[in-house]
Amino acid sequence: MSAHVFGNTGVMLGRTLKHITRSPDTIITTAIMPLAFLLLFRYVFGGAIQANTDNYVNYLMPGVLLIAIASGISYTSYRLFLDMQSGIFERFHSMPIARSSVLWGHVLTSLVSNAISVVVIFLVGLGIGFRSSAGVLSWLAVAGILALFTLALTWVAVIAGLSATSVDGASAFSYPIVFLPFISSAFVPTDTMPGPVRAFAENQPVTSIVNTIRSLFDQQPVGNDIWVALAWCVGVLVVAYVFAMLAYRRRVA
């Protein structure tokens, strides 16, 4: 049974990846806004921001990566919405395939496309001064956290894609998520913020994820941040997956 599911998922993954290769502009569009923020904060605002660091690009990079992922998942809900509207899901369900493989094809495509966007941003970051002395294990840990963050948000995107009634609604849900890094430690230390804003910033998921990635890049102790970050990612992933599957069953019932 598991081989059957994996095989079906592989076929669905190939199908959705073809959409990306035929329209690579989606990846480029996803990367443009985070790259604009990276360059804007590096060359325009960076000189006026006191982040207690000699390399502000290093400070910026984790938050920009999360913004890129939050932007990229909107295309998952968009593609899923179009599939639902075209009626192709009904055709898939008339075939002897695992129903969950249809959703997993979209989810894994999101993982691949967002990984490409992250690599592009890293390359630009290297060009403008990003440097890291992190070892292989630290880089693997960063990759794992970013992948987990992508999976968690992608399942949230699946809910939006299944529940939306319009194309705009399918992608607009990502706007608040993209905004979260701006009220976190992504661009400035949280201790520079007013009391209520600081309290929110220090207790929302982006801050712990950003702090963990930043510490891994700098080879500094991650402390409790990594456990808080993992708890947020896993918690969102599990809850979003459950609600996504419930929404899927309702739509295809």
Residue range 190-231, pLDDT digits in tens: 888 898 999 999 999 999 999 999 999 988 888 899 999 999
Provide mean pLDDT across the span 141-169: 89
Spatial separation of the C-alpha atoms in residues 92 and 87, rounded to whole Å: 9
Q: Domain ranges in the chain?
A: 2-252
DSSP string, 21-73: HH-THHHHHHHHHHHHHHHHIIIIIGGG---S-S-HHHHHHHHHHHHHHHHHH
Spatial separation of the C-alpha atoms in residues 116 and 119, rounded to whole Å: 5
- Asked if residues 73 and 174 have their Cβ atoms less than 8 Å apart, the reply is yes
**pTM (two decimals):** 0.86
- pLDDT of 13 reads 67
| Range in 81-85, 134-138, 148-152, 226-230 the model is least confident about | 81-85
Residue range 23-69, pLDDT digits in tens: 666 666 677 888 888 888 888 776 666 666 778 888 899 999 999 99
φ, ψ of residue 216 in degrees (nearest 5): -65, -40
Q: Is 134 left (phi over 0), alpha (psi -120 to 50) or beta?
A: beta
- Mean of all residue pLDDT scores within the chain: 82
